[in-house]
Structure 1
Amino acid sequence: MSPRKTDSRDRMVLSAAVLLREYGASGTSIDRVLAHSGAPRGSVYHHFPGGRTQLIDEAVALAGDFIAGLLDAITQADDPVDAIDAFFVLWRDRLVESGFRAGCPIVAVAVETNDDAPQLARSAAAVFARWQDALAALFVRHGLTGERSRRLGSFIIAAVEGAVIMCRAEQSTAPIEAAAAEIHDLLRYALRDRREAGPLPRP
């Protein structure tokens, strides 16, 4: 059964997010999105009066929401170290399942120069900040200070994203497994030290 015409907008945004993972922002053209989504050509400027920039921007938001939802689920774990381990496993599995073709769509937008569409970089930055905040909140709940938690959240996102890029280049999971192991040990020590220090003083 062919897709309903009324869902062409959602299909185009989803296709753009998927294509960003493999082809980057410059490679995610309107033609490629139409071919991937099966949406009619006439729907492009009907649904996206801002053209390709609006489509890419909405794809970034969709991808950001998707990973944020996964983070929200993962960070409900009783052990924050287990939660971060699961986050790394998630990315490792996505790499393997795609044959090392799929990276992060947010990085795909962030690393390209978009002088004609600076809002794309701002959107990517907002997504990264949202993910970092989710991780920071996890660590605060488990006794780390707000400052340390924010640093760890930023470091983990940077480590994941860097490892994904290296994995794609090397066609191997070794970089992300190494990053996961080091962060696992770092968090064990950080959280152990916090527990041994006792409760934080009241402000």
Structure 2
Amino acid sequence: MSPRRSDSRERMITGAAALLGEHGAAGVSIDRVLAHSGAPRGSVYHHFPRGRTQLIDEAVVFAGDFIAGMIEDAMDDPDPLRAVDGFFTLWRDRLVRGDFRVGCPVVAVAVESADAAPEPARSAAAAFARWQQALATLLLRHGLTEERSRRLAAFVIASVEGAVVMCRAERSTAPIDAAAVEIHDLLEHALRSAGPRG
């Protein structure tokens, strides 16, 4: 039995997201996505009438939602330090499991020129904003001011993403391990200084 069209579409999006994380936007072609996903060639323009740009954009949205889910799951922990530590651990584990070949699909799009295809860059910006908001909400709940929560959330995301890039280059977890320790200490101090809310 042949796969349903919706299955083909989903496989192409998840395949494109995986390829973005490993090869960057320049390394994502329709042929490569088809080979990776096993989707039929005829379904590409049926599901993605704007072609490669639409496919990459939807892959960025998918990856952004997936990582937001990871963050939101980690943020369910009532201890904000353990929650942020858990987010670093999730990325560390992904790097090790992927033999340091797997990076963040959203970063892969964000670092490339947006002139030719602005939609994926806008989707990347929206993903970063969503991740930061989730972290800022957690910190705000634990006594930090709104402004400090926003700044620290941006710093945490920048630290994780920068560490992931460095880990891939070095083929080592040392950068993310170092970032995790420093962020933990910084947040511990900030939360202790804020004191209990109420």
How far apart are the structure 1 equivalents of 2:99 and 2:175?
15
Root-mean-square deviation (Å) = 1.1
Confirm or deny: 8 A CA contact 2:77 2:83 kept in the other structure. Answer: yes
Deviation at 1:114, TM superposition (A): 2.8
Moved over 4 A (4+): none
Aligned to 2:133: 133
1:107-147 CA-to-partner distances (Å, cap 9, x unmatched) read 00000113111121111001000000000000000010000
TM-score for the superposition, normalised by structure 2: 0.97
Aligned to 2:4: 5
Deviation at 1:3, TM superposition (A): 6.0
Aligned to 1:29: 29
- One-letter amino acid of the structure 2 residue matched with residue 28 of structure 1: V
1:165-200 CA-to-partner distances (Å, cap 9, x unmatched) read 0000000000000000000000111111111xx546
Aligned to 1:53: 53
Where do residues 144-155 of structure 1 align in structure 2 (5 Å cutoff)?
144-155=144-155
Where do residues 80-95 of structure 1 align in structure 2 (5 Å cutoff)?
80-95=80-95
Per mean C-alpha deviation after superposition, the further-off stretch among 19-28 and 112-121 is 112-121
Aligned with 1:124: secondary structure? helix
Deviation at 1:31, TM superposition (A): 0.4
TM-score for the superposition, normalised by structure 1: 0.94
Aligned with 2:24: secondary structure? helix
Q: Does 1:73 align with 2:73?
A: yes
Task: Quote the sequence identity (%).
Answer: 68
How far apart are the structure 1 equivalents of 2:2 and 2:89?
33
| Equivalences, count | 197
Q: Does 1:103 align with 2:131?
A: no
How far apart are the structure 2 equivalents of 1:100 and 1:123?
25
- Specify every segment of 5 or more residues in structure 2 that has no aligned partner in the other structure, as ranges: none
